[in-house]
Amino acid sequence: MTDTTDAAPALGRDTADAAPARGTAPSAPGAPAPRQRDAWLDNVRFVLLAFVVMDHFMWPLLSGSRTMHVLFYWIHLFHMPAFVMVTGFFSRSLVVNDSRARGLVTRVLVPYLIFQTLYQLGDPLLRHGQMVRWAPLWPAWLMWFLAAMIVWRLMTPYLLRIRWILPISILVSLGTGAIAGVSHLMSMDRVLSFLPFFVLGLVIRREHLEVLRRLPARVAAVAVLVAAWPVSAVAADKLGVHWMFWDRSYASMHTTTVKGIAIRSILMVLAFATSAAVLALTPPAHSWMSALGRGSLYGYLLHGFIAWGFKWTAVHAWFNSPPRYALFLAGCVALTAALCSPWTQRVLRPVIEPRTDWLLRRRDAEVAVRA
């Protein structure tokens, strides 16, 4: 792993890619050059985002295909747990690096406010011609992840100071399902339910991730993902989809606390195993995916608008046979690549990552020096 990626958001450009802040002095002569980016982590971002896009486009196809229904559950075993874990890994140095901490505002908070507005107000306005009250603290659809990221990163300095934080976070997640009415305010239901995956990202070490790149780990990863398919088939028959979303109480899913804790515990073990498997099978070398992974924020924020059109129109009805399902999945990957492309980033950067220098004050130390 490399230092330049430690504080980068799981979605969006790395701090290393961003232009230096105004007034920042150039590197001193003889200073060590920044380390190379880790292409593997960029590839992981793209792979996970492609699964997210498949998930959001798959909804209209679920009732017409048993295979697509099981695939939906299979993807949900790992795609968001892995994304949350990678986000935690990238968040660790925020507590010691002020310039990267500022990225919470420029590359998470500001895009959240812009696209929360578009997603919350756009759906009722476009479909029904009616306006609704803007509610920035109640995330609309896929904006839950950015809202949760804000909360997790604000929690990071305190999480890192707590002993045994990983087992504690697991207990928090299991206990959250036992509490009816955990608020969706700033995605607190999922913030707490997915907390173990974020904490694992915070505490895991580079040498642990390096193990996943070795051949035995990759062989085991194939076995894990293959074995997860029949498990997903059982889950598709026995569990409602909200078990896979980690956003409801056990009581709301019509089960007892003891049974609910048991089910979530099993799902958590499966999520840890399948997330590690996907990371192990992601190519480690620099490839066409690497540059696209750096633009994952763009793909995440933009694909929802296209998914709206796919759902609202009759286009999805054409995908009604195995060959067409394969074409559908390939199309999701191609769309992900297009939305994450450097060209898309150049064109839409003013909208997705607008300049916010005017919003951020200088650090107190800088002000004191100038005084």
What DSSP element (H or E) covers 61? none
Mean pLDDT over 183-205 rounds to: 94
Say if residue 252 is exposed, middle or buried (CB neighbours under 10 Å; 0-12, 13-18, 19+). Answer: middle
CA distance 45 to 48: 5
Query: What's 27's DSSP letter?
Result: P
SS3 of residue 337 by DSSP:
helix
- The residue type at 362: R
pLDDT value, residue 171: 97
Indicate whether 296 pLDDT > 90: yes
pLDDT at residue 359, as a whole number: 75
- Residue 106 pLDDT class (50, 70, 90 cuts): confident
Lowest mean pLDDT among 15-29, 117-131, 263-277: 15-29
Please check the confidence at residue 248 and state whether its pLDDT lies above 80: yes
Cα Rg for the chain, rounded, in angstroms? 21
- Torsion from C-alpha of 165, 142, 186, 352, nearest 10 degrees: 100
Distance of alpha carbon 166 from alpha carbon 147, whole angstroms: 22
Q: What does the block give as tokens for 247?
A: 């956003």
Whether the pLDDT of residue 36 is over 80: the answer is: no
Q: pLDDT exceeding 70 applies to what percent of the chain? A: 84
CB 8 within 8 A of CB 297: no
Distance separating alpha carbons of residues 368 and 346, to the nearest angstrom: 36
Confidence of residue 1 (pLDDT cuts 50, 70, 90): very low
Q: Determine which of 99-108, 166-175, 180-189, 307-316 has the lowest per-residue pLDDT on average.
A: 99-108
Separate counts of helices (H) and strands (E) for the chain: 18, 0
CA pair distance 325, 332, nearest whole angstrom? 11
With helix as H, strand as E and coil as C, how does 29-49 read? CCCCCCCCCCHHHHHHHHHHH
Phi-psi region of 243 (alpha: psi -120 to 50; beta: other; left: phi over 0): alpha
Residue 326 has pLDDT above 90, yes or no: yes
54-100 residue pLDDT tens: 999 999 999 888 999 999 999 999 999 999 999 999 888 666 556 66
Mean pLDDT, residues 4-32: 44
Alpha-carbon distance of 38 to 21, in angstroms, equals 23
Per-residue pLDDT, 6: 37
Q: Are 76 and 244 in contact (CB under 8 A)?
A: yes
Q: Do the Cβ atoms of 303 and 119 come closer than 8 Å?
A: no
Q: Could you give phi then psi for residue 30, rounded to 5 degrees?
A: 85, -5
What pLDDT sits at residue 86? 93
- Report, as an integer, the average pLDDT of 113-141: 85
Give the pLDDT of residue 18: 40
Could you tell me the maximum CA-CA distance found in the chain, to the nearest angstrom? 70
Average pLDDT, the chain: 86
pLDDT at 339: 97
- Structure letter (DSSP) for residue 178: T
Most confident range, picked from 172-181, 329-338, 348-357: 329-338
Distance CA 201, CA 137 (A): 25
Q: What is the pLDDT of residue 96?
A: 54
Spatial separation of the C-alpha atoms in residues 337 and 287, rounded to whole Å: 13
CB 118 within 8 A of CB 77: no
Is residue 265 within 8 A of residue 174, CB to CB? The reply is: yes
Which amino acid type is present at position 101? A
**Among 230, 27, 10, CA closest to 103:** 10
Distance CA 224, CA 209 (A): 17
What is the spatial distance between Cα 190 and Cα 188, in angstroms, rounded to a whole number?
5
DSSP code of 105?
I
pTM for this entry: 0.86
Tens digit of pLDDT for each residue in 154-181? 999 999 999 999 999 999 999 999 998 7
